[in-house]
Amino acid sequence: MQKFKMYIDGEFVEAASGKYFDSYYPFTGKVWSQVAEGGPEDVDRAVKAAHRAFTSGDWAELTASQRGMLVHRLGDLIARDAKKLAEMEVQDNGKLIAEMQGQVNYVPQWYYYFGGLADKIEGSVIPLDKKGYFNFTRHEPIGVVAAITAWNSPLLLLAWKLAPALAAGCTVVIKPSEFTSASTLEFVKLVEEAGFPKGVVNVVTGFGKDVGAPLTSHPLVRKVAFTGSDATGRAINEVAAKTFKRVTLELGGKSPNIVFDDANLEDAVNGAVSGIFAATGQTCIAGSRLLLQESIHDEFMDRLLALAKTAKMGNPMSMETQVGPVTTRPQYDKILSYIDIAKTEGANLALGGGPATRPECGDGWFVEPTVFTGVTNDMRIAQEEVFGPVLSVIKFKDEDEASRIANDIRFGLGSGVWTSDIGRAIRMSEKIQAGTVWVNTYRAVSYMSPFGGYKDSGIGRESGIEAIYQYLQTKSVWINTGAKTGNPFVLK
């Protein structure tokens, strides 16, 4: 049985408790490895190491260009080991190897982009309204960052935080999900190989209450970058506020995927299926509310159900598989309970509706791709995030009703609009309250494009140039070039 230690101050170490916890392979439901079970003492050691590395020593002495080169080198090493890292992610989260390979192959781009950005962060000279002073700004790293990630895309979600944090000059303590810690612990070996000084990147593994909570409340942590559920995000925000930490929160969603009657229906059907059944629906941007214009509803549903019925389930390591298992046993139970809720609420079950018992699914945690029609937007199945392969289909009459339904929810992460009318596409992109609007596509992301949520879907943006400023703070420097000191009792 493979055992993973945590990584603190440049060394792989056991937890202070000496304990390990089990990690499961979702395809078999069996334990495949064990991970060190950290606690507050380990968190304190890691944060102090990160604080030391931030305030003194080699990292603090590097120029921005040197820092950027290290970050770039880390990207090269990930590219070299992408296959191994992707396979490890599949062991932990059961997502398809086809999806994880694509994802991990793309991860280096975040390190290249932010590595390149490291030495292009410029302050300004301010053209002051006062004579006799010279005023300029500097952007300085904020300090020790806590990076807390979810289980669905461990290394991708980490790259969104770590690449800009390191490029900015911060130091980091990572807390991966207790369900998927292995790939982060394998990845951190590459941080060491790239030549980052000790203490700059640390990983403390364990559970939310034992590791996440003490990390978020630690007085030496200046910023929390989090991806996970809105419930945990809310708890983190409250704790972080007590010590005035900055936060970036990437939370959940219940994204509307809206199809108008002038859309290319074949593309839109593909987009709707990819929006909810890709990654077994376990993505924050899942298009879990499908809004269909009344006039195309029946034809669209015939096509969608025909396509969804062909989805191949089974071994996530096979390139042929299209829908894999659910990552965790609690998540599997949660999805099934939402299917029951929808049935009780009176939604019409059009496909699936329970555990998958196909022989190719073995003992894994599989749920049949499930579709409910006749959903109204006030039902729980329309308002609450399921995070699984469960689609709610809602009818609408016109643009106004579509945008009203789309926005009548506390979330605002992703959204899709399918139409051949450019004017309508632009109007809808203005009306929808969400951090991302995809027009005639779905589930596209890039290291260059800002990503984040409106409303309860989060605070701040990851990716794109603005992401690096979430790890920097601005200092204003005033120099007297000849102004009289004047009356000391009044503001200058």
387 lies in the site for ligand NAD, by CB under 6 A = yes
Instruction: Kindly state the smallest distance separating residue 464's Cβ from ligand NAD, in Å.
Output: 14
Quick check: is 250 catalytic?
Answer: yes
213 lies in the site for ligand NAD, by CB under 6 A = yes
Residue 240 burial class via C-beta count within 10 angstroms: exposed 0-12, middle 13-18, buried 19 and up: buried
User: Looking at beta carbons only, is 150 or 165 nearer to ligand NAD?
Assistant: 150
- 3-state SS string over 301-325? HHHHHHHHHCCCECCCCCCCCCECC
Catalytic annotation, pick one of 284, 361, 399, 462: 284
User: Looking at beta carbons only, is 292 or 467 nearer to ligand NAD?
Assistant: 467
Contact 85, 187 (CB under 8 A): yes
438 lies in the site for ligand NAD, by CB under 6 A = no
**Sequence-ordered strand ranges (E) for 198-275:** 201-203, 221-227, 246-250, 256-259
**Cα 180 to Cα 384: distance, rounded to the nearest angstrom:** 24
Handedness of CA 285, 289, 290, 292 (dihedral sign): negative
C-alpha of 25 from chain center = 22
177 lies in the site for ligand NAD, by CB under 6 A = yes
Instruction: Kindly state the smallest distance separating residue 390's Cβ from ligand NAD, in Å.
Output: 14
93 lies in the site for ligand NAD, by CB under 6 A = no
Segment holding 117, helix H or strand E: helix 108-117
Instruction: Kindly state the smallest distance separating residue 290's Cβ from ligand NAD, in Å.
Output: 18
Contact 92, 182 (CB under 8 A): yes
Window 221 to 280, contacts with ligand NAD (CB under 6 A): 227-229, 232, 235-236, 250-253
456 lies in the site for ligand NAD, by CB under 6 A = no
Give the binding-site size for ligand NAD (rule: CB under 6 A). 31
Catalytic annotation, pick one of 37, 89, 250, 385: 250
**Cα 107 to Cα 29: distance, rounded to the nearest angstrom:** 28
Instruction: Kindly state the smallest distance separating residue 335's Cβ from ligand NAD, in Å.
Output: 12
Quick check: is 294 catalytic?
Answer: no
39 lies in the site for ligand NAD, by CB under 6 A = no
**Cα 176 to Cα 35: distance, rounded to the nearest angstrom:** 11
For ligand NAD, the binding residues (CB under 6 A) are: 148-152, 157, 175, 177-178, 207-209, 212-213, 216, 227-229, 232, 235-236, 250-253, 284, 385, 387, 413, 453, 458
Enzyme catalytic residues: 250, 284
